[in-house]
Amino acid sequence: MGESFKRTMDVVDGILRPMAQVWKQSPMPPYEDYGHLFTELIDTNAEHFGDIAGAMANKDRRVALFEFGLVPQLFFAFDCAPLCLEFYPSFFTRTNMSVVYEFLDAAEEAGVPTDVCSTDRFILGAALSGELPHNSFFVTSSAPCDGTRIAYPILHRILDCPILFLDAPFRYDREAVQYYAKQLRDDLIPFLEKNTGKKFDLDRFRQVVTESNTAYEYLVDTHDAYTVMPAPHPGILRMFPFSSFIMDAGHARLTKTLRILSEDAGRRVKEGRTQGPFKEKHRVLWVHVPPTYDMDLFAWMEEQFGAMVVSNSLSSTTILEPVDTTSLDSMLEGVAWQGLDMTMSLMRFETEKLINFSLDAYARYNCDCMFVTQHVGCKSICGASGMLAKICRKKDIPVLFIEFDYNDDRVLPPQLMRNQIEEFFTTVMD
Ligand code: SF4
């Protein structure tokens, strides 16, 4: 067992903070013009993890470990430091792959099959290796997939902390969301009161939700700006606004970062200077999750083929709605919608909806081709490939299916992935 959260803080102090300084003082070519945005995003990310380390050492606070199917506003209302476990692997895939291998190996040695989604294997391995923060509790739901439904009961046995399971509805309508919101009111709030020692404060919750609504407006404005051709920010930057929202919605540091991004994107559009260092020729909708370990992939695609990944269909905000702050019930309903509709939670409903959602994003962002991740271990997206291929053929959409593991570069090494992408652009798109 390692020291709790040590590998994480080693990355924060040894990589993130120095990297933010590098972007601030001498931004890296060819993205010098975006240096202040990289600095802001990296700093906010470092602050997010630093806050979790701070809460671990503070007897008046708790770390809220949570999973897809939830958003963090209620945790912030109780002054907790939230950590969304599904985003945790990508923190390491971007910074230190040896930790990723270590945690995946730990899960496999404990008997977790290799065909379970690597996100879940990573989380289990992190728990087995003692990396997950202490002074914490864990809240999860039955969304979004088989992988998580296998992993959470195992986590239940490994984790030595209070745990709450919520039942995510399968249906997609208001009644289903009210069913989920009722659990937030009847189960989650009392659970938080018990485990933080604090009484629920409606005004504080409204304040947090209002803050998250402000951040949401900036997020929508930023994504709207990305519909402009050429898109105002490089692909690697465009990945972060939505994931930052899921991690920090309701915290002022997120609102500030999204405001800076949104204002910068808006200014570039207004001044007609959205062109980046490489001429935009193609727009790619990346359905599901692109590789999280290859930080240079988007820049390479932009430089080699003028191909911009303008959206991936699991990180678009269009499906989320702001939260109505009129009453406790309206706020809980809004937070329930956001939780159920956020990123991977899209996978919980039928493939037809996922396809329609992807086609809408394809049209909205003026894409001319589609990449579809075939993430080994994800039955939802791999199972959808036949239907996706059929609909793309029918609509004459050029599509590349790539079989890989978005967390583990040993399954399809970056160079082999690039070979496939190069072949696609030089044959199908040429
Ligand atoms: S990638 Fe698929 S299997 Fe993995 S967490 Fe997402 S929906 Fe579940």
The DSSP line for 336-397 is HHHHHHSGGGGGGS-HHHHHHHHHHHHHHTT-SEEEEEEETT-HHHHHTHHHHHHHHHHHT-
Vertex 72, ends 69 and 73: CA angle to 5°?
A: 120
Output the CA 196–ligand 1 centroid distance in Å: 30
Rounded CA-CA distance 294/311 in Å is: 17
Output the CA 319–ligand 1 centroid distance in Å: 19
Mean predicted lDDT score pLDDT of the chain: 93
Q: Which residue's C-alpha comes closest to atom 8 of ligand 1?
A: 145
pLDDT at 97 (0 to 100): 97
**Residue 59 burial class via C-beta count within 10 angstroms: exposed 0-12, middle 13-18, buried 19 and up:** exposed
Q: Is residue 245 part of a domain?
A: no
Tens of pLDDT, residues 199-210: 999 999 999 999
Exposure pattern of 119-150 as b/e (b: 16+ CB <10 Å)? bbbbbbbbbbbbbbbebbbbbbbbbbbebbee
Give the mean model confidence (pLDDT) for residues 282-301: 93
Model confidence at 32, in pLDDT bands (50, 70, 90)?
A: very high
pLDDT at 89 (0 to 100): 96
Tens of pLDDT, residues 42-62: 999 999 999 999 999 999 999
pLDDT at 343 (0 to 100): 74
Structure tokens given for 426: 């030089």
pLDDT at 71 (0 to 100): 94
Comparing 255 with 143, which gets the higher pLDDT? Answer: 255
Exposure pattern of 305-322 as b/e (b: 16+ CB <10 Å)? bebbbbbbbbbbbbbbeb
Structure tokens given for 35: 């240096």
Q: Is residue 146 part of a domain?
A: yes
Output the CA 291–ligand 1 centroid distance in Å: 14
pLDDT at 193 (0 to 100): 98
Q: Is residue 130 part of a domain?
A: yes
Q: Is residue 248 part of a domain?
A: no
Tens of pLDDT, residues 243-256: 899 899 999 999 99
pLDDT at 318 (0 to 100): 56
Residues with CB under 6 Å of ligand 1 are: 117, 119, 144-145, 147-148, 344, 347, 375, 377-378, 380
Give the mean model confidence (pLDDT) for residues 267-273: 97
Output the CA 118–ligand 1 centroid distance in Å: 8
CATH number at residue 142: 3.40.50.11890
How many Cβ atoms from other residues are within 10 Å of residue 243's Cβ?
A: 19
pLDDT at 326 (0 to 100): 98
pLDDT at 316 (0 to 100): 63
pLDDT at 311 (0 to 100): 80
Q: Is residue 115 part of a domain?
A: yes
Q: How many domains does the chain have?
A: 1
Q: Is residue 347 part of a domain?
A: no
pLDDT at 160 (0 to 100): 85
Q: Which of 12-21, 54-63, 111-120 has the lowest mean pLDDT?
A: 111-120
For residue 352, pLDDT over 80 is answered with yes
Structure tokens given for 358: 């992807």
Strand-by-strand arrangement of the 136-141 sheet: 81-84, 63-66, 136-141, 163-166
Give the mean model confidence (pLDDT) for residues 319-326: 88
Q: Is residue 287 part of a domain?
A: no
Domain that holds residue 113: 6-198
SS3 percent helix, strand, coil of the chain, rounded to 5, is: 60, 10, 30
Q: Which residue's C-alpha comes closest to atom 4 of ligand 1?
A: 117
Residue 31 phi/psi, 5-degree rounding, is -110, 30
Q: Is residue 307 part of a domain?
A: no
Rounded CA-CA distance 277/299 in Å is: 10
Structure tokens given for 57: 């050492």
Rounded CA-CA distance 313/48 in Å is: 25
pLDDT at 213 (0 to 100): 97
For residue 354, pLDDT over 70 is answered with yes
For residue 301, pLDDT over 60 is answered with yes
For residue 315, pLDDT over 80 is answered with no
